[in-house]
Amino acid sequence: MTDTIFNIKTETDFHSACLETFRYQYENVEVYRRFCDYLKKNPNEIDEVEEIPFLPIEMFKNHLVLDQNSTTESFFQSSGTTQIQTRSKHFIADFSLYEESISRSFEQFIGKPEDYVFLGLLPNYSENPHSSLIYMVDFLMKKSAKPENGYFLYNHSELFELLQTFNDQKVILFGVSFALLDFLDFLKSKTKSINHLSGLTVIETGGMKGRKSEMTKDELLEIFKKGFGTERIYSEYSMTELLSQAYSLGNNIYESPNWMRILIRNTEDPFSYVEEGRTGAINIIDLANRHSCSFIATQDLGKMVKKPHGIGLGNAFQVLGRIDHSDIRGCSLLVS
């Protein structure tokens, strides 16, 4: 089935893969089967993707979401923001699925990892031994194999000095939002500025830890563009419970890879969907989640939009914040 997931080329392929995955997970993932049964959803009576039940993301906090035919190699765990907060765990049966998803989506939207130097400004995540984000950046660094690859926690001066050494070399700086702001504050306090680097791409990954919540996502990106002297700031959207990533190529609009889709559910009726342009809650189909659950109802707000680049089959969407009263996630995005 893995080959089928990553070789989806038509909407018919995607539709068939969704229904096969749904039936497989109903039979083999106990918590998902119980959830579907509670809703009185019979897999034999479902033949449209929109009819598939989406498991509430909170289930990953208190339940084992794992294919009974699999044994877990390890797990990813959300970062959390308080000591008492229950953190999500995503048990992983096959890390090669995650690595394939990382590699293919990165190449689909950005390029070959071998062409880039990778730098990580990811405090909090670097200190989490079960961070899916760190696993992703580690994997890209290994594919790149550049000697300059590395992480920076709070050593802003060292990062600044390294950035000054690059000329036309392609460099990707993955940064959690609050850490990128701290870095730019450091530069301002030292009256330093980064030389214009034509090869530098900044990819922000969300994560404000409750700071400056009054700032919109567009305002944040403008600060980054000015501070880093670039016309575009890229963004990456994923979470602990997923094995796939969507990317924004500088316009605050995310596009998903061929095996990932976004549906926007009605916040008043979780079993119905709203049309393009209307705000609702984000449901995610991630077919790389073969051994957990591929159909997840998140607590993020968003809306479907027209695709700006037309890359692949996946759809395009904006993330507009969090549903009121839901837990603040480590990777939560600012209100757009």
pLDDT for the residue 196: 67
CATH topology of domain 54-336: Rossmann fold (3.40.50)
What pTM does this model have? 0.91
pLDDT for the residue 325: 58
pLDDT for the residue 154: 86
Tens digit of pLDDT at every position of the chain (336 positions): 666 899 999 999 999 999 999 999 999 999 999 999 999 999 999 999 999 999 999 999 999 999 999 888 799 998 865 555 789 999 999 999 999 999 999 999 999 999 999 999 998 777 788 999 999 999 999 999 999 999 998 899 999 999 988 888 899 999 999 999 999 999 888 887 776 677 899 999 988 765 655 678 888 999 999 998 888 899 999 999 999 999 999 889 999 999 999 999 999 998 999 999 999 999 999 999 999 999 999 999 999 999 988 888 999 999 998 887 554 444 433 333
- Half-sphere CA count of 102, side-chain side, radius 13 A: 19
pLDDT for the residue 307: 92
SS (HEC) of the chain: CHHHHHCCCCHHHHHHHHHHHHHHHHHHEHHHHHHHHHCCCCHHHCCCHHHCCCEECCHHHHCCCCECCCCCCEEEECCCCCCCCCCCEEEECCHHHHHHHHHHHHHHHCCCHHHCEEEEECCCCCCCCCCHHHHHHHHHHHHHCCCCCEECCCCHHHHHHHHHCCCCCCEEEEECHHHHHHHHHHHHHCCCCCCCCCCEEEEECCCCCCCCCCCCHHHHHHHHHHHHCCCCCEEEECCCCCCCCEEECCCCCEECCCCEEEEEECCCCCCCECCCCCCEEEEEEECCCCCCCCEEEEEEEEEEECCCCCCCCCCEEEEEEECCCCCCCCCCCCCC
pLDDT for the residue 208: 72
pLDDT for the residue 199: 86
